[in-house]
Structure 1
């Protein structure tokens, strides 16, 4: 097994490792730059950031590294929900707001404008732009290529891999069911796209000729080696980086990860889209009405004040504690140290 392949050459990285873009504040410029400096591909989660903030974060990243990195966006329109649905969902959150002692106002916007975010990415010209929750229009993909930006699409089902290949993407991220955070499914139901990571990699390789980046449940170099052995050209790790020194998540979230037994759960309760995380009190309360939770990004915006207040108070019972199935094996250390450990384990596993 060699670490040098078509994808690592395309990305300009020395290790077949991608630090996952994780919305929610984890991917600070320091984390992205540290991952890239260590030979992996650092990734900035831009989905929840305004175009101006994306530009500011990229400026900070470039002050810390001259290595390639990625920017990730969610492909989504700005919704126009039924006001009565919003009001009902807001009222269901009222007891939790009262318990935390906050009286928030309804959100002023549901999500950041994707088209404007994309224009910013085109201006910034990162090495890679990756996309989740949907698929680009052909002209958008072409514009990215014309700007010299590699296009990577997130898939949870072989049918989505075929769609990204038909579009002309450069690579795909195969997001297995073990992955923490939001499911990226954009064709069919999420429940029909819960493949084991290795199974999904093999299925995508059967239907598409694109390089595959495997994602989901990997916490060490031995797991990376196993996925490279079946044909993945790189492996993306998210949960493994959440407790690094450079991670921007709040202390209560980090502590919950360090104390986790390994139990995780898929839920729509916090955001309106299935996501995997640690079960807690807020999840249990909100899931009583999960069937009537508005779709993402409505519910995600509605619970924003609740999650922000919980983070400020250090109360993990009211946070969305996103984490993958391998969380019990998490290791707190500097990001560059973690990548060095992953590389050593990969070499021990026969990946060099």
Structure 2
């Protein structure tokens, strides 16, 4: 019998430890997912940057090496309408960097894309029938969501406000990820684009717990056992950790990102729209400092990154996204399995006063 004070997520998802490894597109590998699952937590495979065939291969690998429940995560944004003027204005803003770095300004702008959940992705889910499917930026259209539910998967999604949490419960979520403003990566906001409305984890979690009847998963600024124990005290049934797993050897991060994670100070992250067109928290670098972390010339998500690609190829540290949350200085060098089990054991000891 579990000693955790709240076992609703454990029971709902069929896992042993109330720790969810956050899905981080580009950084999460199948090895990370497998390790988190086999350690007793919930591994999460991000699908937003994978084709259907790539996703199928990743899930085959996970299934081959773990019999535990796992999560597959999708974005469900609306693709933007083309806006050639905005694209030109954005590239023109970046032209001085092209000249400085010797990048070809007149070459066609590369396409930066993150695909929303669609019927082809749903077919992969129907084939593999993962225990958990999570979404970012709300939920997909009802017909697709009904197909996912028909596979038996439990549905999770991120809320950044109480209003979003209530909406998610009303539209069929089995549990809600309360994503505080401290979290790294893309904000899950979907009912508003007003960053001033975003709430910190310690304020958000108990209010979401009070507003919904489904279990709540705390995310954002949680990097050690103290944060996990605090989340439980606030009413959460589990936590989702992203940045902590970027320090594991299973993470796929660039050399620049690896260095930044280990040298940045706690105050050196900011929410920015420069790299994708949608607010996301990362470590501050040159382009964020010089044109501002939020710039209204950045094209709509996910198009902003295209014009930065040639610059990133010349200078990765200063022109690529270095996603990280505000608790990055709590990161420790452990394998994904060791991290999952150690954090759980230390948090449980705090909660049971052992």
TM-score, scaled relative to structure 2 = 0.92
- 2:141 maps to 137
Counterpart among 102, 107, 110 of residue 110 in structure 2 = 107
- 1:185 maps to 189
- What is the 5 A alignment of 1:11-160? 11-23=13-25, 25-103=26-104, 105-108=108-111, 110-115=113-118, 116-160=120-164
- 2:336 maps to 335
- 1:209 maps to 213
- 2:7 maps to 5
Q: 2:199 aligned with 1:199, yes or no?
A: no
- What is the 5 A alignment of 1:213-232? 213-232=217-236
CA contact (8 A) 1:270 1:286 kept: no
**Once the two structures are superposed, what CA deviation does each residue of 1:249-308 show, in whole Å capped at 9, x if it has no partner?**
11220111011111211111222111111111121234288122112111134334444x
Counterpart among 289, 298, 305 of residue 284 in structure 1 = 289
Alignment RMSD: 2.0
**Once the two structures are superposed, what CA deviation does each residue of 1:112-168 show, in whole Å capped at 9, x if it has no partner?**
253133333333321111001132223322211111111111110111111111111
CA pair 211-113 structure 1, distance change in 2 beyond 3 A = closer
Secondary structure of 1:73's counterpart equals strand
CA pair 170-13 structure 1, distance change in 2 beyond 3 A = same
Structure 1, unpaired ranges of 5+: none
TM-score, scaled relative to structure 1 = 0.92
Q: Which moved more, 1:232-241 or 1:50-59?
A: 50-59
CA contact (8 A) 1:17 1:235 kept: yes
- 2:172 maps to 168
CA pair 247-100 structure 1, distance change in 2 beyond 3 A = farther
**Once the two structures are superposed, what CA deviation does each residue of 1:179-201 show, in whole Å capped at 9, x if it has no partner?**
01111100123424321212111
User: CA shift at 1:109, angstroms?
Assistant: 6.3
- 2:351 maps to 350
Structure 2, unpaired ranges of 5+: none
Counterpart-to-counterpart distance in 2, 1:72 and 1:52: 16
Counterpart-to-counterpart distance in 2, 1:210 and 1:192: 27
